[in-house]
Structure 1
Amino acid sequence: MKNLFFAVSTAFLFIACDKVKMDVKTGKEADSLTSKEWKPVDSATANKAWMDYATPGEMHKMLAKSDGTWTGENTMWMENGGKPMTTTSEATNKMVFDGRYQVGEHKGNFMGMPFEGMSIVGYDNAKKKFVSTWIDNMGTGIMNMEGEWNSSKKSIEFKGKMTDPTRPGENCDVREVFTIVDDNHHVMEMYGPDSKTGKEYKTMEIKYTRKK
């Protein structure tokens, strides 16, 4: 059944990709594919590639270890060198789609207002990188990041961009370092640009403890 699913998926993608090729030739499509020469892939190679891409591995198992509910001790800085603000939060993580992604639901408060956020974290087998998205009730955009696992530090350093509402139409660079202290303690550090200088500084730190 699984092989049939991948065969059908591969056939569908061949048709879709072939359509993109035809459109590129006629000048009706203009995307990243036009900058590279299209290289054909035989069906056996494509089928294996898609199976490898779709099969959860060791990094997904590592993500699954943080399933459950966590309490957070949050420290935030509105500007570099500014007075820190402290709050508490709670996060509940759950692997979905047969262990391929982890969805996190986050609740707390920010400057006296209720805060809710949702994260989706996965490991892209093809890119060999962790991928992450974030949305919350304090904005209307989606933050996307990618990161690599550092086994010596037991951490993932994510890098990406998010909307800068103070500069309409522009994004700003963001960076997150997620460290696994042990099975019951994690630390998340977020970095972004200072509004006055544009230089990177630590905007937030959350110390997570597994809720028993």
Structure 2
Amino acid sequence: MRFKLFVLAMLTTCCAMAFAQEGQMPSEEEMMKKWMEFASPKAEHEMLNKMAGEWDYKMTFWMGPNQPPQEATGTCVDKVINGGRAVSSTMNGQMMGMPYEGFGVSGYDNFNKVYWTTWTDNMTTGMMYMEGTSTDGGKTVVYNTTMDEPVMDVKDKPVRFVSKWISDDEHVLESWDEVGTPHEFKAFEIKYTRKK
């Protein structure tokens, strides 16, 4: 109850400022209805929630164009959080002979109509945030974003991630590097298979 009152108070304040110039303040009931509409999980969230469960993954990655592929394996546990509004992912495995662990959260923003993902792992001290769109109901989500590459002293390098839902037991994540240049190449592909 306190949370609802807090949300209502915040909405009232924000809306009052927004509508003060126009002189048309919506009622508290209208504001709460609008807020709940944007806060409620939709079909996009239902699609994301299919990721819940335990997965084995196999990653194939390339250090550059025309470089030989390398492989890494591990497990991933995805959990539905925030009342069905997001999915957390925890990965553990081996990469280049070292332990690998990563954590991310994915969701869908009803207001801005974008998929979003955060990611951090033990190979960096930074965090990646990306937004993406889908034209097939969330089965394929394309994220165009930037990332830093400290080894090369490069900031905000354009990259693309493509998430593909193959079936209830398989999905794939691709990463493309040097996006928008003649040297664009697939940097990695992770194939997730649901544990039986």
1:96 alignment counterpart: 81
1:175 alignment counterpart: 160
Q: Output aligned runs, 1:25-174, within 5 Å.
A: 42=26, 43-151=28-136, 154-166=139-151, 168=153, 170-174=155-159
- CA distance in structure 2 between the partners assigned to 1:180 and 1:50 by the alignment: 30
- CA distance in structure 1 between the partners assigned to 2:72 and 2:160 by the alignment: 21
Aligned-pair distance for 1:171?
Answer: 1.4
Aligned-pair distance for 1:52?
Answer: 1.4
* Aligned-residue CA RMSD (Å): 2.7
After superposition, the Cα gap between the structure-2 partners of 1:48 and 1:138, relative to the gap in structure 1 and judged at 3 Å, is: same
Q: Contact conserved, 1:158 with 1:176, CA < 8 A, in 2? A: yes
- CA distance in structure 1 between the partners assigned to 2:125 and 2:25 by the alignment: 39
Unaligned runs of 5+ in 2: none
Unaligned runs of 5+ in 1: 22-32
Aligned-partner SS, 1:51: helix
- Higher alpha-carbon deviation: 129-138 or 57-66: 57-66
Deviations 1:173-194 (A, max 9, x none): 2211111111101111111228
1:9 is aligned, of 7, 10, 32, to 7
- CA distance in structure 2 between the partners assigned to 1:81 and 1:151 by the alignment: 32
Structure 2 length as normaliser, TM-score?
Answer: 0.86
Structure 1 length as normaliser, TM-score?
Answer: 0.80
2:190 alignment counterpart: 206
Aligned-pair distance for 1:155?
Answer: 0.8
Aligned-pair distance for 1:116?
Answer: 0.4
- CA distance in structure 1 between the partners assigned to 2:5 and 2:139 by the alignment: 37
2:173 is aligned, of 181, 184, 188, to 188
- CA distance in structure 2 between the partners assigned to 1:41 and 1:166 by the alignment: 53
- CA distance in structure 2 between the partners assigned to 1:143 and 1:131 by the alignment: 11
Q: Contact conserved, 1:172 with 1:193, CA < 8 A, in 2? A: yes
- CA distance in structure 1 between the partners assigned to 2:107 and 2:25 by the alignment: 26
- CA distance in structure 2 between the partners assigned to 1:139 and 1:68 by the alignment: 26
- CA distance in structure 1 between the partners assigned to 2:74 and 2:157 by the alignment: 25
Aligned-partner SS, 1:10: helix
Runs of 4+, deviation exceeding 4 Å: 38-41
Aligned-partner SS, 1:98: helix
Percent of residue pairs identical: 36
- CA distance in structure 2 between the partners assigned to 1:64 and 1:130 by the alignment: 13
